[in-house]
Amino acid sequence: MANVPKSRDGYQWTPATGLVQGVPTLGLVQPSKKGLKNSKRYDVVVVGAGYAGLTTCRDLTVAGNSVLLIEARDRIGGRSWSSNIDGYPYELGGTWVHWHQPFVWRELRRYGMIDQLEVSPRPGMEGGSRVTVNLDGKVVSLSHDEESEIVESAFKKFINVDGVLGRSVIPYPHDIELNMAGVKKYDQLSMADRMAQVESQLTPLEKNTFGGFLAITHGAKWEEASFFELLRWWALMNYNYTDFMAIGLTYKLRDGQSALARRIFDEAIDTGRLDYSFSTPVKSVHDNGSHIVITARNGDATFEARRAVCTVPLNVLHTIAFTPALPSLKREASMMGHANQVVKCHAEVANPEMRSLGATNFPRGKLTYTFGDGTTPAGHTHLVAFGSSLPGAHLDPEKDISVTKQAFEAFHPDMKVQRLVFHNWHQDEFARGAWEWLRPGMTTKYLEALRKRHGNVFFASSDSSFGWRGFIDGAIDDGGRVAKMVHDELKMRDLPRSRL
């Protein structure tokens, strides 16, 4: 993987190179266009090459449909992609997977990638196996077991709204519509509202440690993040803290998420039924009733298809002009946007003993939490860190690399930073935020509307999927769901009338 080509996306810094925009990735697509003909009308055009779009393309082409994929970036993967540097992947977006996530697990099995699983944090390793917490300027050192006990205790107090740790609110985690009365009640609460209800029950150490954990979970101002979203995550992760950490933050892929995305993309290509145009931001989607006309932002290219599947992130949807106009609830939801503006940064540090490090610098740190995520080919430690968007602590890592470097060094006085790698999602025009975390009231008001088709345009997205919404699994789930709907509709319309 030494000669992996570079995307325009992402940033890398080393003392030798300084800050450089663009990082190598297995997800780069070259050449950027394939098979385009002005006169061709496709069965389906798919907008967006994240996991939802890739799954849609794969399933539709395998089923026999002609598909055009249009992507604004020069790569596949959307908000889940890895930079492969010297053969080592740094996950710049979605990362962790688990066998309790059925759709991503099906893909790993399909492509023979089950043996790619690696454990990310390693709390039991020798040396540096402590967690440090910045408690009002005083550094408290804990074992990993002590940290887990503290966070679990606080988590249960925070989540236990019904005396049975949320089970009565979300009895069916993959179908919240079965108890919308309970959903509505807790969807109106913000994370700040819930903290005010339980704050007196938390010790100072619980409040600080758990507060840092929550800050990088929703990545928003506390009053702008729905408490229901945390209840939903908790239910999906089997209503207990041990599974929460195992499912959400433990297992990653040895070759990175771009390796899995590439397998899905390549299978679609191998059918001979997928054409594509990368580096092609979409300006407008016009539904003529009989077919769709999509116009690129530069105005030089238009594409036609019988149906369209739009997979762009929620926070970007309103930037595309739809004719007929989008229903008001869809547009309102996109204009409001989900709240998550978390920052994710990677560091390679010349401290092998930090492989099992965990550290919190909340609420003042520009980066809130870090932990050892691997060992690089040079024998150094790979740290991944997250930062929240709290006032005074927000970080745009590319604006001043010395501030970003200092944010890592604040976790440990002896840290020797050799490399920084990151993608600034909230400054990315094609994302405008990280993983989905809806604002108070958005689930009950907008979620159903976001899933609905609009004429001949269908919508698939991790941001509005069933089940693992906001996760890689949710994107794959929704892409497959919509692909089946579109294929069945096209197939039915193509049947001879004598068979209807």
CA distance 50 to 43: 20
Going by pLDDT thresholds of 50, 70 and 90, the confidence category of residue 125 is low
Tell me, what's the pLDDT at 42?
A: 97
Q: Does 126 have pLDDT greater than 70?
A: no
Residue-level pLDDT at 138: 87
Strands 321-323 and 282-287: parallel
Alpha carbon distances (Å) from 497 to 269, 484, 491, 494: 32, 22, 12, 9
485: pLDDT strictly greater than 60: yes
Three-state secondary-structure class, residue 228: helix
199 annotated ligand-binding residue: no
- 500 CB burial (10 A radius; 0-12, 13-18, 19+): exposed
The pLDDT tens digits of the residues spanning 391-409 come to: 777 899 999 999 999 999 9
> Are the beta carbons of 9 and 73 closer than 8 angstroms?
yes
pLDDT, tens digit, for every residue of 168-218?
A: 999 999 998 888 888 999 999 999 999 999 999 999 999 999 999 999 999
Domains of the chain and any CATH numbers? 31-116+255-338+432-494 (3.50.50.60), 124-246+345-423 (3.90.660.10)
Whether pLDDT at 238 is above 50: yes
Report the percent of the chain where pLDDT is more than 90.
86
Q: Is 71 annotated as a binding residue?
A: yes
User: What pLDDT score was predicted for residue 363?
Assistant: 87
Tens-place pLDDT, residues 239-271? 999 999 999 999 999 999 999 999 999 999 999
pLDDT for 498 equals 46
- The mean of the pLDDT values for the chain is 94
Determine the length of the chain: 500
User: Cβ(271)–Cβ(262) under 8 Å?
Assistant: no
DSSP letters of 166-216?
Answer: TTTT-SSTT-GGGGHHHHHHHHS-BHHHHHHHHGGGS-HHHHHHHHHHHHH
pTM for the whole thing? 0.96
Strand partners, 310: 47, 459
The residues pairing with 75 across neighbouring beta strands, listed in sequence order, are 28
Cα-to-chain-centroid distance, residue 110: 22
383: pLDDT confidence band, cut at 50, 70 and 90? very high
CA distances from 465 to 82, 220, 426, 470, 475 (A): 23, 21, 21, 8, 7
Strands 82-85 and 88-91: antiparallel
d(CA 411, CA 128): 12
Residue 386 among known ligand-binding residues:
yes
pLDDT at 500: 41
Q: Is the dihedral of CA 362, 382, 51, 109 positive or negative?
A: negative
Q: In Å, how far are 11, 83, 425, 458, 499 from 92, measured between CA atoms?
A: 10, 7, 9, 28, 50
Closest Cα partner for 459 from 303, 357, 318, 250?
318
pLDDT tops 80 at residue 350: yes
